[in-house]
Amino acid sequence: MAERIYADDFQAKVLDSPVPVLVDFYADSCIACKKLAPTLCDVEEDYEGKVSVFKVNTGYDTKLVQEYEILSNPTLIFFKNGEAVDRQIGAKDYDELTDWIDGLI
């Protein structure tokens, strides 16, 4: 399962990461977020060493929500070389998600 991170460790785990990072901005009460969770676990396993996957709870990390202009859950942001390069909103199935990732790495 993707590790939950916080504003305090976002720089080290996402922006300074030597590999691309997929961040799932989610909420505990979000049905689409719960639907997406197992897919993210599969992605994390299949892309181990190539892409890191982390989760940010939008109910607690309002600084990151504001900084990355998160307006709905789930929002997936793909980071590469410390920069947010693309985003997807809403639950995606495995093929949609991996096609998107493959196009970015």
Residue 86 tokens read as: 């693309």
> Distance from first CA to last CA of the chain, Å, rounded?
21
Q: Give the CA angle between residues 93, 75, 58 to the nearest 5°.
A: 130
Residue 41: active-site member:
no
Question: What is the average per-residue pLDDT within 34-53?
Answer: 96
Domains identified in the chain, total number: 1
Catalytic hit among 4, 7, 27, 30: 30
| 15-20 contact pairs (CB < 8 A, 24+) | 15/79, 15/82, 16/82, 17/52, 17/79, 17/82, 19/49, 19/50, 19/51, 19/52, 20/50, 20/51, 20/52, 20/78, 20/79, 20/80, 20/104, 20/105
Cα distance between residue 105 and residue 2, in whole Å: 19
Average pLDDT over all residues of the chain: 96
Q: State pLDDT tens for residues 46-69.
A: 999 999 999 999 999 999 999 999
Q: Assign residue 48 the CATH number of its domain.
A: 3.40.30.10
pLDDT digits (tens, 9 = 90+) for 18-33: 999 999 999 999 999 9
Please indicate whether residue 33 is annotated as part of the active site: yes
Task: Say if residues 26 and 88 touch (Cβ distance below 8 Å).
Answer: no
Which of the residues 23, 33, 51, 65 is marked catalytic?
33
Report residue 1's pLDDT band, with 50, 70 and 90 as the boundaries: confident
The whole domain housing 39 covers 3-104
